[in-house]
Structure formats: C-alpha cells, structure tokens
Amino acid sequence: MKCIFCELSDIKLREIIVASDETARAFLTNIPITPGHALIAPTRHVANFEELTETEVHSILRLHKIISGALRKTFGAEGFNCAWNEGAAAGQSVPHFHLHVVPRKKGDSGITEYDPRKFLYRPGSRAETPEQELREVAKQIRGSLDFK
C-alpha cells in the first residue's frame, strides 16, 4: 500500500511543514478540524506507535511542545485535542503513524463533550467496572508486559 505521507513531494512538504528535525516533522493537514490543525509524524515510515524508536518518540513529543506554543500564539488556542488512530479498526486511514494536534478555544464547533465514551466508543452510558474485575484485568496485563 502506498503512503501519502512518504510520497509527498519535497516542494509540497516545504509549503506545509511548520517544524521538523532529523526524525520527525509537523505539517498541516489538508482536512483541518480547526485552523492550525497539525500532524506530527516520523520521517521514517512506521504504522504504529510501538514501531517508533525512542529518538522518534522524543522528537514527536518535542515537536508537539513547540507546535502547541506556536498555535497558542498564532490562533489563541486555549487547549488542544491530541490523538492518533492506530489500526484500521480504530479509524487509521493513513498507514503512517501521526499525532493530530488540534488547537481549541471556547466556541469551537465539533467535539464539545470531551468524555471519551461520547466520541471514541459506543454511545450510551456504561456501568462502572467493579474493583475486583479491574484488579484481575490489571493482573492479566502485567503478566503480558515485556520490558526491554
């Protein structure tokens, strides 16, 4: 499958990149939610967060900090929605990891209720999970951890 982020021409990228370093770049999306909506992606093609190197993760977070400051100054952003979709089942349409940084301020349209259950998951309320069940799930996850 071709990757639109990897195939962007140098000329096109120069026009929309707002910041970059050796391993990552921040550029404007062509379908912004609000003005200044940026994507931060590694220059190397990787699909998922787990494939990123420590250096790439550091670069992405560093660029996030830089871009957020610039978006506060440029657009008066009062906050941000920051997210990535991972895998087709989660809505990832470009198979290249990218972090969305969406500047937000009071009065913006779009998502207005920030409870993840209302915009990421199934609609409707959910009962609180009993503590014993949470302990069991945590134990299962800990048993699968693989620290390097």
- The one-letter code for the residue type at 99 is L
- CATH code of the domain in which 10 resides: 3.30.428.10
Give the residue with greater pLDDT, 3 vs 141.
3
Specify whether the CB–CB gap between 117 and 144 falls below 8 A.
no
**Options 37, 45, 96, 98, the catalytic residue:** 98
User: What local confidence, expressed as pLDDT, does residue 82 receive?
Assistant: 93
User: What local confidence, expressed as pLDDT, does residue 25 receive?
Assistant: 92
Structural domain count of the chain: 1
Specify whether the CB–CB gap between 30 and 107 falls below 8 A.
no
User: What local confidence, expressed as pLDDT, does residue 65 receive?
Assistant: 95
What would the pLDDT profile of 26-73 be if each residue is shown by its tens digit?
A: 899 888 888 899 999 999 999 999 999 999 999 999 999 999 999 999
Distance, CA of 119 to chain centre: 15
Judge whether residue 8 has pLDDT over 90: no
Judge whether residue 88 has pLDDT over 70: yes
Specify whether the CB–CB gap between 47 and 116 falls below 8 A.
no
- Alpha-carbon radius of gyration of the chain: 18
CA atoms within 13 A on the CB side of 6: 11
User: What local confidence, expressed as pLDDT, does residue 115 receive?
Assistant: 54
Distances (CA, A) of 132 to 68, 125, 136: 40, 21, 6
What would the pLDDT profile of 101-144 be if each residue is shown by its tens digit?
A: 998 998 877 665 555 545 554 455 656 767 787 777 777 877 87
Containing domain of residue 92, as a range?
A: 4-144
Tell me the average pLDDT across 13-20: 82
Distance, CA of 107 to chain centre: 22
Sheet of 79-83, strands arranged across:
17-20, 24-28, 38-42, 99-104, 79-83
Tell me the average pLDDT across 19-25: 92
Active site residue 37: no
- In sequence order, what DSSP letters do the residues of 9-26 get, joined into one string? -HHHHHHHEEEE-SSEEE
